[in-house]
Amino acid sequence: ATVAAGATANLQVQVDTATAGNKTGTLQFVNDDSNENPFDFAISALVTATATATPTPTPTPTPTLTPTPTPTPTPTPTPTPTPTPTPTLTPTPIPTLTPTPTLTPTPIPTLTPTPTLTPTPIPTPTPTPTPTPTSVTTPTPVNTPDTNCICDKIEYPNLNQPNQQIDNIINGGVRLIGTPKNDSYFGINNPNIFDALTGNDNLFGGEFNDIFNGNEGNDFIDGDKGDDILFGGKGNDIIIGGVGQDVIFGNKGNDSINGKEDDDLIFGNEGNDLIDGGKGNDSLFGGKANDVILGSEGNDTLFGQLGDDTLCGGAADDLLYGGQGNDLIDGSKGNDSIYGDLGNDTLFGCEGNDILFGGSGNNSLIGGLGNDIFVIGLNRGFDIVSDFVKGQDFIGLSGVLSFNQLEISQNNNNALIKFKGSGEVIASLTGVSASLIGVGDFRTI
């Protein structure tokens, strides 16, 4: 029989009275709760024979069979209640923290990606009137020697131009959100997180590591000291990293960015951006559109990525990649490595012992001062080397190309370098006599 939790029941135990004597047994209750012990009850009974006078013996009657005890009818099944389980302790939930407003810019990418993006740039939004950095015109590539560094010809705008029309002044706090109006936020000397909204805002950091998001509007952002993360958002923004190793995203709009001190990581993203690494060994990515990227001081790495970009290495030994588009690249001072990549590029070594590799396309290579190496290869287009000096400069052979596969011939005042197998003209050395070019002028890269 089944007894519901909290209920009672009457049970009858039938004792075999066929014989006299002590009867013993065990009554066991089975409990379906694994956390409780079963109930066992010892039972006993004494069966005593009733003494009767011994009559004249009569035939011993056939003993009346002790009727088989009528089984205790099985009670109408009370629906077996679902065993009340031992309550599982519900842990006190950890309160969900109200998240700090999530910054929306693109996450930081890997430091050494080979940019392959091909989407059409999003149209630049019409800027709200605000101090706009002086635009820089990308010089048109030329195929004639020029001993002057193009970096010296770029007009650098004044970036110290905070917005003048301010509606609110907000003093620093750990995590704050701005207003739709023009805010001026001043960070405290603790880490600051500030998320501006739609106005033309001024954001000034403190001495610690700040996170600023300009969002919409033409914003002025100055990280000041500390290792800051700065997002321009939409609009034409001015962003200054200041002291410390900063990570800066221009995002949408035509932005002007200067990393200032230390080793910075800067992404222009969309729009025609002006990016200056400043001091330190910087990594600079132009992104989409036509960007001007300046390494300035330090051993910098510059990626033009998409668009017709202008790259200037500046002082020290720089690594410059033009990417897609027709790029103008100048190593400036130092021993630089310059790669045009895709497009018809113009490469200037300027000062120092430089390596110039036009990549794919019809490129112009101008070494400038120093002992330069002009790298050529098969099926990459036609390169014009404008200032090769025998005994000072070298021709670098990329891939499996070797000197024995080449044919050097004269064409007017220029030496042509051809591939014997297909007759492909690989390069032209302007103003050089083919008869003077020999195996000693080549290097395997």
Q: Beta-strand (E) ranges in 120-192?
A: 168-171, 175-177, 183-186
Residues of the chain where predicted confidence (pLDDT) is lower than 50: 52-56, 59-146
Query: Which tens digits make up the pLDDT trace of 294-317?
Result: 999 999 999 999 999 999 999 999
d(CA 183, CA 165): 9
Token duo for residue 13: 């135990």
Q: What are the φ/ψ torsions at residue 243 (nearest 5 degrees)?
A: -80, 140
Within 10 Å of residue 172's Cβ, how many Cβ atoms? 19
Q: What's the pLDDT score for residue 42?
A: 72
**With b meaning 16 or more CB within 10 Å and e meaning fewer, what string describes 383-404?**
bbbbbbeeeebbbbbeeebebe
Q: What's the pLDDT score for residue 21?
A: 74
Q: What's the pLDDT score for residue 5?
A: 65
Contact yes or no for 374/388 (Cβ under 8 A): yes
For the chain, list the domains and their CATH numbers: 150-166+213-444 (2.150.10)
Q: What's the pLDDT score for residue 150?
A: 87
d(CA 214, CA 195): 7
d(CA 314, CA 227): 24
The torsion region of residue 441 among left (phi > 0), alpha (psi -120 to 50) and beta comes to: alpha
Pairing of strands 425-430, 414-419: antiparallel
d(CA 437, CA 435): 6
Within 10 Å of residue 159's Cβ, how many Cβ atoms? 19
Beta pairing partners, 196? none
The tally of CA atoms less than 13 A away on the side-chain side of residue 140 is: 1
3-state secondary structure of 188: coil
Q: What's the pLDDT score for residue 362?
A: 98
Q: Nearest CA to 293 among 265, 268, 312?
A: 312
By residue count, the chain amounts to: 445
The tally of CA atoms less than 13 A away on the side-chain side of residue 439 is: 4
Query: Which tens digits make up the pLDDT trace of 69-122?
Result: 444 444 444 444 444 343 333 333 333 333 333 333 333 333 333 333 333 333
Q: What's the pLDDT score for residue 45?
A: 72
Contact yes or no for 286/308 (Cβ under 8 A): no
3-state secondary structure of 168: strand
d(CA 217, CA 198): 5
Give me the long-range contacts of 243-246 (CB less than 8 A, separation at least 24).
Answer: 244/209, 245/280
Beta pairing partners, 355? 337, 373
Residue in the structure block whose two tokens are 């309550």: 87
Q: What's the pLDDT score for residue 340?
A: 98
Q: Using alpha carbons, list the distances in angstroms from residue 211 to 109, 120, 202, 208, 221.
A: 17, 29, 14, 10, 11
Q: What's the pLDDT score for residue 39?
A: 62
Q: What's the pLDDT score for residue 16?
A: 74
Beta pairing partners, 311? 293, 329
Q: Nearest CA to 241 among 159, 184, 328?
A: 159
3-state secondary structure of 150: helix
Q: What's the pLDDT score for residue 41?
A: 65
Q: What's the pLDDT score for residue 253?
A: 97
